[in-house]
Amino acid sequence: MLLRLPSPPLSSSYLSTTTPIHLRLFSSSSSPRPRPRRRRSLFRCAAGNDLVEVDAFTNKSGYLFELSNSDANSIEDYDISKIGAIYRRRPLILLRRLFQTGLTFGKWFAFRYIDNLMERSDQMFEVRAAELRQVLLELGPAYIKIAQAISSRPDLIPPSYLDELSLLQDRISPFSTEVAINTIEQELGLPIEELFSEISLEPVAAASLGQVYQARLRRTGQVVAVKVQRPGVQAAISLDILILRSLAGLLRRIRKLNTDLQAVVDEWASSLFREMDYRTEANNGLKFRKLYGGIPDVLVPEMYLDYTTRRVLVMEWVEGQKLSEVNDLYMVEVGTYCSFNQLLEYGFYHADPHPGNLLRTYDGKLAYLDFGMMGEFKQELRNGFIEACLHLVNRDFGALAKDFVTLGLIPPTADKEAVTKALTGVFQNAVAKGVRNISFGDLLGDLGTTMYKFKFRIPSYFSLVIRSLAVLEGVAIGTNPDYKVLGSTYPWIARKVLTDSSPELKSSLHALLYEEGIFKIDRLESLLSEALRARTEKALLRKQEDERVVIKQILSFMLAEKGAFVRDILLQEFAKGLDALGLATLDSITTLATASIPFTSTFSFSTMTNEDKINLRTLHRLLLLLSRLQGIENSKAVIKEDIPYNNQQMNLEEASLVFNQLASIQDILPILSVIPELPPESQQQLLNLPADLTGRLISRAAARTIRRIIL
């Protein structure tokens, strides 16, 4: 229900002036206009007595609000030294908070212990879950934030606790609407009726840091969400972080942990303080909208900076259902693709994607809300994360150990061989199931013992990245218990590796495709197969593509500028293979010619080196790949491992197989049929390939001839 507000007198209305709102609201030469007393009675009468009831946090922890204005202003930004100095001057508040926290949690754990002794844990499970939620509400935002992250993991939390903790996402007891209106008027410097023509009587959602009202802007008539910060959150969170940071340092010393737990707390606290500044959140929302608002079926609401201050935020109103409450796997796929862009394309990511911040709109789009907690993922770390995923999927655990050093997870002085052996033991079973079945949560769980043994560290930046991915997988599991976020993200990683122009990823791709100088075509086929799964369009998600669509996708990639690096590798391998085929043909002719000459049948002569034999085998496998091109997406890499050549007869057999493959023209016809559908520049690039291949072949043959003459 919206309360229609009376129109303001024209003499005081912003309609009577051309001065922009944000200039009048924040002008240092004028003080905020006092709120008329009649507004207070208006909202008290309209809302009723229930809305002025004190919420649990204010009731139990209201003493934390007793900071002077100077102290409150000094901790607008996270600075642990300032926070420590403030509460050293107020030891009684610190001791009271310690006593309250210890007593509250101690009482709850005591009841759980008694339940176990009396063998009634199962009967009291739901009761204790509800009590835990009430405990968190009383203690306030810092503890609620921790619980919100946990509540997004249905695979880790019992259902009763999950149901209760999920209520903390947007169903926290609201504070007084009268206080909220007062905050809006003080922050924006205008009476409420000059800002909005309508506003809801009650908050439509209440979270740990603030609550949201639906309103209509008087100036434009736009329906908006008005977010108002909860009183006292800055003081409460500051004190709780001080306590948690001290406990983290104590725990690290007692358990002799390698991870700097205090740095992890600092990283989380910094992001939490940025979240409490709604001006930062508005700017984050604008940046997020610019980077990701153009992704199909992603909605990022518009921010109204003119109406935004440190404690009040006005943004576009979005309606929908929580993503966790709808069974829509397509929305999960859209979220996975958007997360890939956030983490690995631009490095600016939503670090708090719990179900309350992800909505499925009624027109079928995924809406992101709440941009207070964001993270930055630097380019070198993004490349390191991509390389780690590649090496994990391809079971290159030695390279994975080096990636962990790059990511800052293990110190450079660690024993690489021992780490490689340990990672092999941890990951080989998980990877054996295939990339599409790798669970991000399972990998983290399996890694626990190894992390402790080899002095793994959790860098401060990594905690937010892990949380973002873990929460996304948790939301997805609620829709599909078999969903694997890493398996769904890997196709985008494969596509990025194949198309990215950065020298680092080109080097990684080359190292992946060549092992001890031998071209691993099965790895290329795997990358192409996974890259073809990287799509979000609804029509393609139905997996009803015909072979022409798949072939056209591959050719378009190979002939485009972004496929130049892979195209160069393939041309080089074809040139090497055709050169080896020529040598094998020469050997075959020589063998046939000398077979009828007496006393020569027992002699075997070959011009082929071991490298040539490998190149011939690679050519055969490339032709097999080409013939299966239209079915590559569903192929299972049936190419067998390399078998050493023992005699010339095997060389001739391989050459015969290659010629037979070349004779299978019908396998190539589907490829030729889509050429007219390619863009003109791609067709021109295709016409240039024979000349390019011939040039490489001639250069190789000339170089070999010169080398053999000299040697």
Q: Give residue 493's pLDDT band: very low, low, confident or very high (50, 70, 90).
A: confident
DSSP secondary structure code for residue 639 in this structure: P
The pLDDT tens digits for 95-128 are 998 999 899 999 999 998 898 888 888 888 888 8
The pLDDT tens digits for 505-518 are 888 888 888 887 88
Percent of all residues in the chain with a pLDDT value above 90, rounded to a whole number: 16
Give the mean pLDDT of 358-364: 91
Q: What is the mean pLDDT of the chain?
A: 77
**What per-residue confidence (pLDDT) applies to 362?**
92
The pLDDT tens digits for 388-433 are 888 888 888 888 888 888 888 777 877 778 878 877 776 776 677 6
- Using CA atoms, how far apart are residues 507 and 503, in angstroms rounded to an integer? 6
**Cβ count near 518 (within 10 Å):** 14
**What per-residue confidence (pLDDT) applies to 711?**
64
DSSP letters of 544-571? ---HHHHHHHHHHHHHSGGGHHHHHHHH
**What per-residue confidence (pLDDT) applies to 254?**
82
The pLDDT tens digits for 516-552 are 788 888 888 888 878 877 764 444 444 434 556 667 7
> Burial code of 548-578, b = ≥16 C-beta within 10 A, e = fewer?
eebbbbbbbbbbbeebebbbebbbebbbbbb
**What per-residue confidence (pLDDT) applies to 662?**
54
Query: For residues 207 and 169, is the Cβ–Cβ distance under 8 A?
Result: yes
Residue from 277, 297, 352, 587 carrying the catalytic annotation:
352
Query: For residues 630 and 674, is the Cβ–Cβ distance under 8 A?
Result: no
**Element containing residue 163 per DSSP (H, E):** helix 159-166
The pLDDT tens digits for 560-603 are 888 888 889 888 888 888 888 888 888 777 777 666 666 555 55
DSSP secondary structure code for residue 264 in this structure: H
Residue 229 tokens read as: 């910060």
Q: Does residue 352 have an active-site annotation?
A: yes
Q: Give residue 67's pLDDT band: very low, low, confident or very high (50, 70, 90).
A: low
Burial class (CB in 10 A: 0-12, 13-18, 19+), 119: exposed
